Structure 1
Amino acid sequence: MGSMWIIFSIIGLIVLCLLVLLIMAARYQRDYWRYLEIPHEPPKKLWHITKQLVTQSLSTEQMKAAHYSALYTKFKGQGPFCGFYALLQPRALVLESELIRQILIKDFANFNDRGMYVNQKTDPLSSDLYGRRGGLWQEMRRKLDPIFESERMEWLYLSIYEEAKQLLLAVSTTLMQQSHSTLHIQKMTRRYVLSSLASSVFGLDMGQRIKYSLEEFEQMTELVLSTRKHGYFMNLLMVRFPNFCRWLRMRTTPKEAEIYFVQLLHDMEAQREASGVRKKDFLQLLLDIKELELTTHESESESDKELKAHLQHELVAHAFGFLRAGFEQTSNTLCYVLYELAINADVQRKVREELNLSLERHHNNLSYEFIQSLNYMGQVISETLRMHPITPYIVRRTLNDYVVPDHPKFILVKELFVIIPTHAIHNDPELYLSPHQFNPDRWGGPRDSLREQSTWFGFGVGARSCIGVQLAQLQLRLALALLLLEYEFTLNSKRPLISCQDGIALKLTPLGVVEPGTEERAV
């Protein structure tokens, strides 16, 4: 009996020691920035953190952007970065332009991790260019860079032009079928961008859509992009302890969607091999990459089957990366451009004047050269991305300890999450005069590329900037050109826009039609 008490006492002592250590570790985490004497926002109370974990109340992107903007405003000028806490985890928010350049360009090798959970073996769709880090990211980027060369865009021009015409047709048909001229544009812009990616990246032309309908394609895309497979706490563990979670074979992609995209691309590849036809689209270029990999590792063994399976999964990851990085981002930007043009009539008029003059120079031919010549439209897109950035903040995670140059006290330790508050920087009056005013002319003069590397993040900056920027520009410009040559856009609401998800109600008037009460403005 006495020995049992000794055993229980030892177990109790061990549990007590573990609890003490846990409390000390939590206390250290909560005082992390105070110990280092770094300007910081104090952590939340423990009861508030516990409540957030239990209720799984997540912060939205808008809430995070507002929080980071407040931190930027409060601590700017007090150092290269400030500290704050996500639950109990210390994080850093960058405040100075020079440190942004060091993170995104000069010392990029130490900051090429976006901090996303990737499981290449059991969850191939998670292992795209957007989520990879380190050497795996560099290898994939090296493979994909050649397919985004500028001359490749001319290959895609006709197919995207056809999709833009379908967008215009959908707008016209919808207006004819309803008794008013107000249109909620988001659904149509999303379908336009999705359809152009389905065609150029996945090979889904009109013939292929009999088996793989665009509705099902959209459903599976939404399933991957919008579904949270795990709860808040599990997602937190996957980001914090990725190696352990990979060992447990945890995944973020619904299996149903993975099977769909793997089968889709397998069928498209088989059809092209059977027909012997080489098409001028991204899918053909991705298939060429896969074929090159196979020939370089050619063998007749069991490992050859494993290699083919690996390359097939990599092909799917390459293709789905277009959807993850370009679908919602491009469609939202198109909505924001139309919104800003609707409330800035003078800017809309200037864009239309440029369109008509350029059309005249190109003999009324909406060619690739015509789209590329629209300089003022490019300024409008740049200004829209300043006011409505694709991502309101950039996340990086350090691969090794990093001492900020000229600031020995400021150290970004290994595995620390670093936030660059793009929305706050884009609205900094010290960087942009009258930042809340939509002014495309601010992009009309000579461009200071060094300054833009740390003050404008429309398509990202440095080696990890958006690889598909030219594709996105082509999609945006074609849609805007066709719509603005047919309709005048005005806003059908006095309520300021918060986000695309809140809905954008635009009033469309066919050009040349004068509505009652607007005769003086029309003249």
Structure 2
Amino acid sequence: MWLQVVLAIIFGSLYVSWYVWNKYSFWQRKGFPYIKPSIPFGNIGDTVRQKTSLGQCLHELYKKSSDGIVGIYLFFRPALMIRDANIVKNILTADFEYFYDRGVYCDEKNDPLSASLFAITGHKWKTMRSTLSPTFTSGKLKNMFPTIKETATELENHIEKHANAGKPIEMFEVCARYAVDIIGSVFFGITVDSINNPENTFRQIGRIAQGEKLSVALRSLTLVLVPKLAKIFRLGFMPPFVGKYVINLVKETIEYREKNSVTRNDFMQLLLQLRNTGKVSANDETWKTQADGNNKMMTIEQCASQVFLFYIAGSESSAGTICFCIHELCHQRNLLDEAQREVDEMLRRHNGQVTYDNIGELPFLDKCINETIRMYPGLPLFNRMCTKDYPIPGTDYVIEKGTPIIVSLLGLQMDPKYFPEPEKFKPNRFDKGNEDFVPNAFYPFGDGPRNCIAQRMGKIVVKVALVMLLSKYDFHCMESDKPHELKFKLSTLNLSLLDDIKVKVTPRKTTMLGDTNKSAANGKIWHGN
């Protein structure tokens, strides 16, 4: 008996040793440069132990190597980190056919909320992408613009109360409420008013999804890095009550509109077109659709998964961009003055009106936004799955089918090889025709066929808020606030602040328009039924 136990222990130990060696020698055997892993978390131990976020962990791994391609380990799973900007460009664009899937968790049958455009694969992704693309044309966005502007007016009014009272404002929190209100109105077709009622259920759902609990961190890691394990253990994209709430909310909205023939210029209305006809009207002025109760092209669950994607992907990233941009401008008064001067001049040309067309006349503000999302990308990493063997051009390496591909966006965009003095906020590095950076290293919205489908919407949301705030207010750093000394949540995949940025806000004394009260933000805008 004792002999059997001893032999079992010996052989068990030998097997475990062989298994660990076999897994952690994978890149060495394949001839790839690699970063030495540690048992049992591979190269992401600091993230699992809650010492750093995944985005920051991958950034540190990026800095440990000088190779364009380097092997890493996600627990026991081999993956390749791509550090060469030209190879990244090829993967996303010219050689997209080898990398068209993300390789993240998706379980449409048991977890319908997970089956968003971000996660679905193959032909199903291609069909959904081509179906949804017409929802973000210039004409469609222009029709949604009044809703965005109306919400920005509420943001401006809220900040005015703090400015008049001389109170500092927690910039990220208020910008997050603004972004959530826009998502609620434009994508879900509901009025939320998180700006004035921050404890509403819709806002709380976002807080749960972006929470700081260890369970949130482990779920996020597993869904992205070990999706097969997530599927086996039915971890779920979100806690069950979140999925139930979102699906019921979408169901109620769709049923109400179909029953009462309600038409509204928003994304939900375009989903209704898809659901009832299988396509979005090419006519940007056509929003109404005839409901057909017998032939639905999209289920309620499919509609819910798409709108919830924009909630998760858009709320904190848009809020962060607004907040980080103001944070950086506060620390360089000359840049803040230049941005305000440009906004004032644009408003003077257009009688104080902010429109879809004239916010395109702000090249310096565009550069400020680009520099912000370079330094603070909403999602600091992106991944792909190699779907067939890929010989890397100009090398002897072959990426085998099934290999996870990781790109540290923070790594690329903070690399002095690609962006001189990357730690400095320098909007003018984006001067057209005189760019002071390597374009192939700038991917805040990805690139190629699988880039962010809503990137133009995201920029509009950010830009309208900045235009309306910069036109009326001055922003001042708190004495304790220092640039680039920000701390981020450890539990989320996106770059989300741990401690908010407090900013002093004061009404501007003079503008190019004269009286600041003539700002274009004044007044409500009716946006249809």
TM-score (norm 1): 0.83
Match of 1:187 among 165, 173, 184: 173
Q: 1:45 to 1:313 in 2, by over 3 A?
A: closer
* Structure 2 alignment gaps of length 5 or more: 281-291, 488-496, 511-529
Q: CA deviation at 1:171?
A: 0.9
Q: CA deviation at 1:437?
A: 2.0
2:263 aligns to what?
278
Return the structure number with greater helix share: 1
CA contact (8 A) 2:173 2:500 kept: no
2:252 aligns to what?
267
Whole-angstrom CA distance in 1 between matches of 2:352 and 2:228 = 58
Q: CA deviation at 1:249?
A: 5.2
**In the alignment, residue 389 of structure 1 is paired with which amino acid?**
P
* Greater Cα offset, 93-102 or 412-421: 412-421
2:240 aligns to what?
255
Q: CA deviation at 1:155?
A: 0.9
Whole-angstrom CA distance in 2 between matches of 1:66 and 1:273 = 46
Structure whose alpha-carbon radius of gyration is higher: 1
* TM alignment of 1:139-154, pairs within 5 A: 139-154=127-142
2:36 aligns to what?
42
SS in 2 for 1:217: helix
CA contact (8 A) 1:117 1:239 kept: yes
SS in 1 for 2:509: coil
Q: CA deviation at 1:504?
A: 0.7
1:23 aligns to what?
17
Q: 1:249 to 1:426 in 2, by over 3 A?
A: closer
1:57 aligns to what?
49
| Matching of residue 318 in structure 1 with residue 315 in structure 2 | no
2:408 aligns to what?
421
Write the deviation string for residues 349-392 of structure 1: whole angstroms up to 9, x where unpaired: 11111111111211222222221222211111011111212222
Q: 1:449 to 1:481 in 2, by over 3 A?
A: same
| Matching of residue 341 in structure 1 with residue 293 in structure 2 | no
Q: 1:69 to 1:249 in 2, by over 3 A?
A: closer
Q: CA deviation at 1:182?
A: 1.9
How many residue pairs align between the two structures? 486
Q: 1:194 to 1:32 in 2, by over 3 A?
A: same
Whole-angstrom CA distance in 2 between matches of 1:151 and 1:248 = 44
* TM alignment of 1:493-504, pairs within 5 A: 493=479, 494-496=481-483, 497-499=485-487, 500-504=497-501
1:226 aligns to what?
211
CA contact (8 A) 2:209 2:216 kept: no
* TM alignment of 1:207-226, pairs within 5 A: 215-226=200-211
Write the deviation string for residues 381-437 of structure 1: whole angstroms up to 9, x where unpaired: 0111112122222222222332212222x2323332222122122122232222222
**In the alignment, residue 444 of structure 1 is paired with which amino acid?**
D
Match of 1:75 among 56, 65, 75: 65
* Greater Cα offset, 325-334 or 96-105: 96-105
* Greater Cα offset, 304-313 or 187-196: 304-313
**In the alignment, residue 276 of structure 1 is paired with which amino acid?**
S
CA contact (8 A) 2:276 2:297 kept: no
Q: CA deviation at 1:478?
A: 1.0
Write the deviation string for residues 192-233 of structure 1: whole angstroms up to 9, x where unpaired: 000011011111137x99xx9971111123334438796877
Q: 1:192 to 1:241 in 2, by over 3 A?
A: closer
* Greater Cα offset, 241-250 or 89-98: 241-250
* TM alignment of 1:78-93, pairs within 5 A: 78=67, 80-93=68-81
Write the deviation string for residues 279-327 of structure 1: whole angstroms up to 9, x where unpaired: 11111001111112499xxxxxxxx999859611101111111112111
Whole-angstrom CA distance in 2 between matches of 1:190 and 1:232 = 20
**In the alignment, residue 409 of structure 2 is paired with which amino acid?**
T
Write the deviation string for residues 69-89 of structure 1: whole angstroms up to 9, x where unpaired: 44434432x4x3012223333
Q: 1:342 to 1:450 in 2, by over 3 A?
A: closer
| Matching of residue 476 in structure 1 with residue 462 in structure 2 | yes
Q: 1:17 to 1:237 in 2, by over 3 A?
A: farther
Whole-angstrom CA distance in 2 between matches of 1:413 and 1:307 = 42
* TM alignment of 1:84-123, pairs within 5 A: 84-123=72-111
| Matching of residue 511 in structure 1 with residue 497 in structure 2 | no
SS in 2 for 1:279: coil
Q: 1:461 to 1:51 in 2, by over 3 A?
A: closer
Whole-angstrom CA distance in 1 between matches of 2:226 and 2:294 = 27
Whole-angstrom CA distance in 2 between matches of 1:67 and 1:294 = 42
Q: CA deviation at 1:488?
A: 0.8
Whole-angstrom CA distance in 1 between matches of 2:411 and 2:455 = 22
SS in 1 for 2:498: helix
Write the deviation string for residues 450-487 of structure 1: whole angstroms up to 9, x where unpaired: 952x2101222212211111111111111111111111
SS in 1 for 2:405: strand
Whole-angstrom CA distance in 2 between matches of 1:83 and 1:387 = 25
1:360 aligns to what?
348
CA contact (8 A) 1:229 1:252 kept: no
CA contact (8 A) 1:488 1:508 kept: yes
* TM alignment of 1:280-319, pairs within 5 A: 280-293=265-278, 311-319=299-307
1:438 aligns to what?
425
CA RMSD of aligned residues (A): 3.5
Whole-angstrom CA distance in 2 between matches of 1:102 and 1:406 = 12
**In the alignment, residue 211 of structure 2 is paired with which amino acid?**
S
Q: CA deviation at 1:508?
A: 1.3
1:517 aligns to what?
none
| Matching of residue 490 in structure 1 with residue 490 in structure 2 | no
**In the alignment, residue 417 of structure 1 is paired with which amino acid?**
P
* TM alignment of 1:123-138, pairs within 5 A: 123-138=111-126
**In the alignment, residue 39 of structure 1 is paired with which amino acid?**
P
**In the alignment, residue 413 of structure 2 is paired with which amino acid?**
H
Whole-angstrom CA distance in 2 between matches of 1:456 and 1:446 = 16
The percentage of counterpart residues that share the same residue type is 24
**In the alignment, residue 264 of structure 1 is paired with which amino acid?**
L
Q: 1:152 to 1:29 in 2, by over 3 A?
A: same
Whole-angstrom CA distance in 1 between matches of 2:151 and 2:403 = 43
* Greater Cα offset, 423-432 or 232-241: 232-241
Q: CA deviation at 1:120?
A: 0.6
CA contact (8 A) 2:274 2:298 kept: no
Q: CA deviation at 1:92?
A: 1.6
CA contact (8 A) 2:219 2:235 kept: no
CA contact (8 A) 2:250 2:304 kept: yes
TM-score (norm 2): 0.82
Q: CA deviation at 1:265?
A: 1.4
**In the alignment, residue 337 of structure 2 is paired with which amino acid?**
R
1:516 aligns to what?
none
